[in-house]
Amino acid sequence: MLSGLYKADYITPERRGYGVVTFHEGAVRGGDSIVAYNGTYSLSGQEVTMELEAFRHSHKADLAPIFGKDHVRISLRGNLLADGRVLAQAASLDAPHLPMKVVLTKLRD
């Protein structure tokens, strides 16, 4: 079952980022020091899909959003592993040139 609080590692060819997300009854929410995430998820067997909106909430000159834009829509597809982690690939129509790998590690139920 995919529910609870997860730490998130985001990796693109240009940047790496870290944040937290929560999963609860089809909703996924979270953020990091400059971006908030809001969207939906579904789990079919071990396959996880997510549709997220990521938007900048803080403007700090030395930090940049992972996709380099203040507002993006992100689609993720991955797998829930036996150890509770989720490994996923993500893409954004707003930054199609930038693939992203996501690793979610469960912290709490």
Q: What is the CATH number of the domain that holds 104?
A: 2.40.128.380
Give the range of the structural domain holding residue 50, as residue numbers without chain letter: 4-108
Q: What are residue 77's DSSP bridge partners?
A: 49, 89
**31-45 pLDDT tens trace:** 999 999 999 999 999
CA atoms of 81 and 49, how far apart (whole Å): 14
Binned at pLDDT 50, 70 and 90, residue 30 comes out as very high
pTM: 0.91
**85-105 pLDDT tens trace:** 999 999 998 988 899 999 999
Q: Count of domains in the chain?
A: 1
Mention every residue, 6+ apart, whose C-beta is less than 8 A from residue 39. Answer: 27, 28, 29, 50, 51, 52, 53, 74
